[in-house]
Chains A and B, each alone.
Chain A
Amino acid sequence: MSIVADDKIKKTPADERLKKASVATTLLRRPELGAVAGLVLVTVFFLLTANPSMFTLAGIMNFMAPAAQLGILAVGASLLMIGGEYDLSIGSMVAFAGLVFGAALVVWQVPLSVAILIAILMAVVIGVMNSQIVIKTGLPSFIVTLAFLFILRGLTLVGLKWASGGATQLRGMKEAAAGSPLTSIFSGDAFQGLFAWLASNDLIAKFPNGTPQVSGIPVEILWFIVIALLATWVLLRTRFGNWIFAVGGDERAARKSGVPVVRVKTVLFIITALCATLVAVLTVLDAGSTDARRGFQKEFEAIIAAVIGGCLLTGGYGSAIGAFLGSIVFGMVLIGLTYTSIDQDWYLVFLGGMLLVAVMFNNVIRKRVTGER
């Protein structure tokens, strides 16, 4: 049917067999469609049930902050999932990186920049370790990184006791980091001047004394947005992005076509470890302390956000913007429930339900994209 053996046809700008792709079909090809639908649904739900203060500027910052912390992990996880692998160690990695970063600041008392550098180097080492074990043994990354989930959590506990002299919490990071030019990049609120100006012109809500109710955008939200945009650019527009899809779609076919599979996977594992480390730095500086439960179960939430964002469990398909939106859905539900009369523990029920719906939805989408019958 589709074989045209007539090579006399010179140019065919418009193929008559190309049904005018309807807007719906074009939309259905986008992996993040499910996440958009989820976000709309959740927004409508809270518009109907929650206290209206949820959607004021302060309320939005309130749910965007946890969304950002999860989202930075989820964007990294989505890249890795598109590349066909999982990293279950990122939650524990947040705790471990927090320990290394915190210990560098308060135990070794190095400057903030050096502490961040140490944390980054450590993330690269862990990422390389994860990837090399997965690649060399051929074991599923699910199992290898599950092992690291426990190893890193255990190391964090042991290390915290060593660094704090017996406790499971390490304090004093805020003071140690104060005064560094990097502090404002990794903690606090950005655009404070702009927000003060907006408040003085009555464009945003302010306190009776004239200061704005929201003093700026928490830096973690900016990091979240920048990382999601960067990841999307890499995925859709760069050579490395093409390689990520290829490696996740079919590793052998990718290799045969000249894609450096080992390099791509190694870089992806390093990226997830780096995302976890960034979250660790942001949250440790925000709280001024770190503890052993940092990042607990975040690996699962990040994977769920990536799946809501359209990542297939089998790899080769997905979107970073989808993971971004999926994380916002998470933040909205987690915080939104406190604006309603609904018991907050419904959060977990929602989490599981959302995952199920998303996976089923993605299956349908995949069949549509690949024309599987």
Chain B
Amino acid sequence: MSSIDTPLVEVRNLTKHFGSVIALNGISMVVKPREVLCLLGDNGAGKSTLINTLAGVHRPTSGDFIVGGKSTTFYSPRDALDAGIATVYQDLAMIPLMSITRNFFMGREPMVGFGPFKRMDMKFADEVTRDEMHKIGIDIRDPQQAVGTLSGGERQCVAIARAVYFGAKVLILDEPTSALGVAQTSMVLKYVNQVRNSGLGVIFITHNVRHAFAVGNRFTVLNRGKTLGTYEKGAISIDELQNLMAGGKELQALSDELGGTI
């Protein structure tokens, strides 16, 4: 039924107001299977608000939201998860006091046993957590240790590994590389590539045009809550994208002033 071109997720003219603040003011965008859509935009452009709306955290003020060809409303993040959309939030959505395993499976706990003896399958959960973390290049010492004891980068990797594990159709990553070192960043980019090749659609949010270029198929640029445009990879250069993101000529001027190092 769903051909390769049926978008996994499509939004049309999405708006989101927080009281008098207009965070999104008419966004349109499409994500297809087997592609990485990069969302680019400066701070405050509305990237996080957009993905929070996709993930069911916020309800849109207006606009259409189409998942798998059907108009849909998510009432909670659980609805989005059930629809196969998993998100790595910018704030990670992790609980420092809880163990890595408990965080990994939060809201999706694996169960064993029947009736009143139904319980969390801790052994399985620990194993999966350890394996998935290993795949992303992190050997965790003890899956039962609290997430609060992990470094920022390690936490980021738990969040990514969790979303990849549970994301059945669409994976959303909100600035996943901002807290990572060089090795981990390339690991994540490689991971994004892998996820795309396995047939998922990926929405990859970043500030870093180089990272975007490394994995993206298409680039949607946001500015002040609006889509400035969407560009295929072959149709735009890194520099053009950079300027578009910054909203015009000023950056080019500044870049020249600094000797072209930005």
Contacts of B149 in A (CB 8 A): 369-371
Chain B neighbourhood of A9, CB < 8 A: 134, 139
B128 close to A (CB within 8 Å): no
Interface 9-mer from B13-21, B27-35, B99-107: B99-107
CA distance A98 to B89 in the complex (A): 48
Per-position 1/0 for A83-114, Cβ under 8 A of B: 00000000000000000000000000000000
Q: Are B139 and A257 in contact (CB under 8 A)?
A: no
Number of residues of chain B lying within 8 A (CB) of chain A: 47
In the complex, A1 Cα to B184 Cα: how many Å?
A: 12
Knowing A254-B106, A258-B77, A258-B107 touch, does A370 contact B97 (C-beta < 8 A)? Answer: yes
Residues of B within 8 A of A238 (CB): 118-120
A12 to B142 CA separation, bound complex (whole angstroms): 12
Q: Which of A7, A246, A256 contacts B98 (CB 8 A)?
A: A246
Task: State whether A257 touches B106 (Cβ < 8 A).
Answer: yes
Q: Does B207 contact A (CB under 8 A)?
A: no
Q: Do the beta carbons of A249 and B93 come within 8 Å of each other?
A: no
Residue-wise, chain A 44-88 has the 8 Å CB interface mask toward B (1 for contact) of 000000000000000000000000000000000000000000000
Selected contact of B109 from candidates A6, A239, A252, A371, CB within 8 Å: A239
Within 126-164 of B, Cβ neighbours of A (below 8 Å) are at: 134-135, 137-142, 146, 148-151, 153-154
CB atoms of B142 and A256 under 8 A apart: no
Min CB distance A179 to B, Å, is 31
Given A3-B184, A4-B138, A254-B107, do A370 and B77 touch, yes or no (CB 8 Å)?
no
Number of A residues with CB within 8 Å of any CB on chain B: 41
Cβ contacts under 8 Å, A256 to chain B: 55, 57, 77, 87, 89, 93
Q: Which of B135, B141, B142, B184 has the most CB of A within 10 A?
A: B141
List, in ascending order, chain A residues with CB within 8 A of B148's CB.
369-372
- A174: interface (CB < 8 Å): no
CA separation between A237 and B110, bound complex, in Å?
11
CA distance A249 to B186 in the complex (A): 32
Complex-state Cα separation, A245 to B183, whole angstroms: 33
Min C-beta distance of A235 to chain B, whole Å: 11
Collect the chain B residues with CB atoms within 8 Å of residue A258's CB: 76-78, 81, 106-108
For residue A21, which residues in chain B have a CB less than 8 angstroms away from its CB? 142
Binary CB contact string for chain A from 156 to 182 against chain B (1 if under 8 A, 0 otherwise): 000000000000000000000000000
Which residues from A are CB-within-8-Å of B153?
3
Q: How far is the CA of A3 from the CA of B78 in the complex (A)?
A: 32
Smallest CB gap from A315: residue in B: B97
Contact A3 B181 (CB under 8 A): yes
Q: Is B22 an interface residue (CB 8 A)?
A: no
Q: Report Cα–Cα, A8/B189, bound state, in Å.
A: 18
Instruction: Please tell me if B95 contacts chain A, counting CB pairs below 8 Å.
Output: yes
A17 CA / B108 CA spacing, docked (Å): 30
If the complex has contacts A12-B139, A242-B106, are A369 and B97 also in contact, measured as CB distance less than 8 A? Answer: yes
Q: Is the CB of B109 within 8 A of A242?
A: yes
A253 CA / B97 CA spacing, docked (Å): 12
* A34 at the B interface (CB under 8 A): no
Question: Does A5 interact with chain B (Cβ within 8 Å)?
Answer: yes
- For residue B187, CB closer than 8 A to chain A, the reply is yes
CA distance A312 to B96 in the complex (A): 14
Known: A2-B151, A3-B181, A258-B107. A246 touches B138 (CB 8 A): no
Across-interface contacts of A260 in B (CB, < 8 A): 76, 78
A259 contacts partner chain B, Cβ-Cβ < 8 Å: yes
**Residues of chain B contacted by A293 (CB below 8 angstroms):** none
Residue in contact with B57 in the complex, picked from A15, A17, A255, A316, CB distance below 8 Å: A255
Would A237 and B120 count as touching, CB distance under 8 A?
yes
* Chain B positions 69-85 with a Cβ under 8 Å from a chain A Cβ: 76-78, 81
For B89, what are the chain A residues with a Cβ–Cβ distance below 8 Å? 256
Taking a contact as CB atoms under 8 Å apart, the answer to whether B138 and A249 are in contact is no
- Asked if A249 and B95 make an inter-chain contact with CB atoms under 8 angstroms apart, the answer reads yes
A residues with CB within 8 A of B: 1-7, 9, 12, 15, 17-18, 21, 233, 237-239, 241-243, 245-246, 249-250, 252-260, 312, 316-317, 366, 369-372
* 13 A-B residue pairs with CB within 8 Å: A2-B138, A3-B153, A4-B137, A6-B137, A233-B119, A238-B118, A239-B120, A246-B98, A246-B102, A249-B97, A312-B97, A369-B97, A369-B149
Q: 5 closest pairs, A vs B, by CB?
A: A370-B148, A258-B107, A371-B149, A5-B183, A249-B95
Further 4 A-B residue pairs, CB within 8 A, beyond A252-B91, A256-B93, A258-B108: A18-B142, A237-B120, A253-B91, A255-B57
